[in-house]
Amino acid sequence: MHTTLQHIQSPIAREMERFEERFGTYMKSSNFFLNRITNYLVKRKGKQVRPMFVFLVAGACGGITDATHRGAALIELLHTATLVHDDVVDDSLYRRGFFSINALWKNKVAVLVGDYLLSRGLLLAVENRDFHLLEIVSRAVKEMSEGELLQIAKARDLDITEEVYFEIIRQKTASLIASCCAVGAASVEKPDEATIEQMYSLGETVGIAFQMKDDLFDYGTEDVGKPLGIDIKEKKMTLPLIYALSKASGQERTRIRRIIKNESHKKEKVQEVIDFVHRMGGIDYARHRMNDYYEEALRRLDILPDTPYKEALAGLIHFVIKRKS
């Protein structure tokens, strides 16, 4: 199985190069100030996992087309818009080790840039009559917003159940990866509705496991991109904590909730919560559930014919779920 991103990308290396060239042109504007900002965004791109899902699924489902390129760009434009807006909402000064747009150009500019990116994505789809792709991606953006709002509403009470946690991550994170896989399947020459739905389910399964991995980093000791205990400081209830609280006595549950509500700004108190979660088996439980989703994702690949694209997809799923950062 391919395990490095370079290996995983090999069946679509030329497509990814073309995508990067095209994506820069989709961001362009006649406004000089806006171009400065969008150039900055293009330069600080991440690992490009989302377009990789789009291209690999399209390759595995019948072949990459111009619509595949537009679908991948649509997802990146709309997703980048949501990230720029998220940084304003969260008052974040950094993203992926770079200054955020709001840190460099203030909130008003960041909101307007997010709006611009959103409109560029919509126009790209409408001008090319890619309405079926626009529907898939718009559904994901709607779900992401609902998931974030559900998490905010529940964070106040610290009463998230396992069921609600899975609903939040399904909407907030998994819906986007699901839309990448569905767009890939929908962009081929002769798209098949059943295959599009199956690829959506595949992406959703991967996305749930991906978010669980992210949540586990918060309690681990691995050298990762986000500081340890940040979810606790932000009063986010993730699966390791939800499970640990469900196994605790009423007295201990009350004590831990009180710490999260009133003392999560204190480093030693955050460590106390992390120790509690480890002690109650929350890490092992969450890791076990994540592996179940990982295995389920690999099983969902069985419907695809054996091709280098399918093999690379298995590698990409392994990469995003078993990653170290």
| Contact status, residue 218 vs residue 238, Cβ threshold 8 Å | yes
| Contact status, residue 77 vs residue 120, Cβ threshold 8 Å | yes
User: What band does 3 get if pLDDT is binned at 50, 70 and 90?
Assistant: low
The SS3 call for residue 178 is helix
Listed residue (39, 16, 26, 28) closest to 101, CA to CA = 39
What confidence tens digit (pLDDT) does each residue in 268-322 have?
Answer: 888 888 899 999 999 999 999 999 999 999 999 999 999 999 999 999 999 998 8
List phi, psi (to 5°) of 229. Answer: 80, 10
Distance CA 96, CA 222 (A): 17
231 occurs within a structural domain: no
User: What band does 104 get if pLDDT is binned at 50, 70 and 90?
Assistant: low
- In the chain, % of residues over pLDDT 90: 47
Does residue 325 carry a pLDDT above 70?
no
99 occurs within a structural domain: yes
239 occurs within a structural domain: no
CATH code of 120's domain: 1.10.600.10
The pLDDT of residue 85: 75
How many C-beta neighbours within 10 Å does residue 318 have?
A: 17
**What burial class does residue 33 get, using C-beta atoms within 10 Å of its C-beta: 0-12 exposed, 13-18 middle, 19+ buried?**
exposed
233 occurs within a structural domain: no
The residue range of the domain holding 82 is 5-206+305-317
253 occurs within a structural domain: no
277 contacts: CB under 8 Å, gap ≥ 6: 219, 240, 241, 244, 283
The pLDDT of residue 312: 94
| Contact status, residue 136 vs residue 183, Cβ threshold 8 Å | yes
How many C-beta neighbours within 10 Å does residue 108 have?
A: 10
Distance CA 247, CA 59 (A): 46
245 occurs within a structural domain: no
Listed residue (57, 83, 66) closest to 19, CA to CA = 66
Mean pLDDT of 44-51: 81
Structure-block tokens of residue 92: 């974040």
The pLDDT of residue 223: 47
Q: What's the Cα-to-Cα distance from 156 to each of 107, 151, 153, 317, rounded to whole Å?
A: 25, 9, 6, 34
Does residue 77 carry a pLDDT above 80?
yes
Does residue 225 carry a pLDDT above 50?
no
Amino acid, res. 229: G
92 occurs within a structural domain: yes
Distance CA 100, CA 107 (A): 10
The pLDDT of residue 222: 53
- How many structural domains are present in the chain? 1
The SS3 call for residue 95 is strand
Q: In which element (H, E) is residue 229 found?
A: none
Does residue 2 carry a pLDDT above 60?
no
- In the chain, % of residues over pLDDT 70: 93
248 occurs within a structural domain: no
Distance CA 124, CA 119 (A): 8
